């Protein structure tokens, strides 16, 4: 049975993104936070004071994309990122180890 537990990722502005835990755990940083005995682990909610909502939205889309195409045998479609957000998304991906 597939694990469909949900977790919440919160941007610096307070916008909430509800995702499947297996999608969130593509990020090592999020996975460790959710497994901890700290508040994030207890509440299954991780806040990112340094990631804006538009950037976190792209990150969430990428986490879903990564899970969706994890075992793909056919060519994987390109994951497109708006040029205006590219640097911030790359910084967030580096921070999140995603």
Tens of pLDDT along 12-21? Answer: 999 999 999 9
What tens digit of pLDDT does each residue of 38-91 get? 999 999 999 999 999 999 999 999 999 999 999 989 999 999 999 999 999 999
CATH topology of domain 6-96: Potassium Channel Kv1.1; Chain A (3.30.710)
Residue whose C-alpha is closest to residue 85's, from 52, 61, 60, 63: 52
Question: Do residues 24 and 63 make contact, with C-beta atoms less than 8 angstroms apart?
Answer: yes
């Amino acid at each position: 049975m597939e694990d469909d537990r949900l977790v919440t990722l919160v941007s610096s502005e307070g916008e909430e993104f509800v995702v499947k835990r297996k999608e969130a755990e593509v990020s090592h940083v999020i996975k460790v936070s959710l497994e901890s005995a700290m508040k994030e682990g207890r509440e299954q909610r991780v806040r990112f004071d340094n990631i804006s909502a538009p950037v976190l939205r792209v990150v969430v889309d990428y986490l879903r994309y990564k899970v969706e195409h994890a075992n793909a045998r056919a060519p994987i479609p390109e994951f497109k990122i708006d040029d205006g957000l590219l640097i911030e998304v790359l910084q967030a991906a580096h921070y999140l180890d995603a």
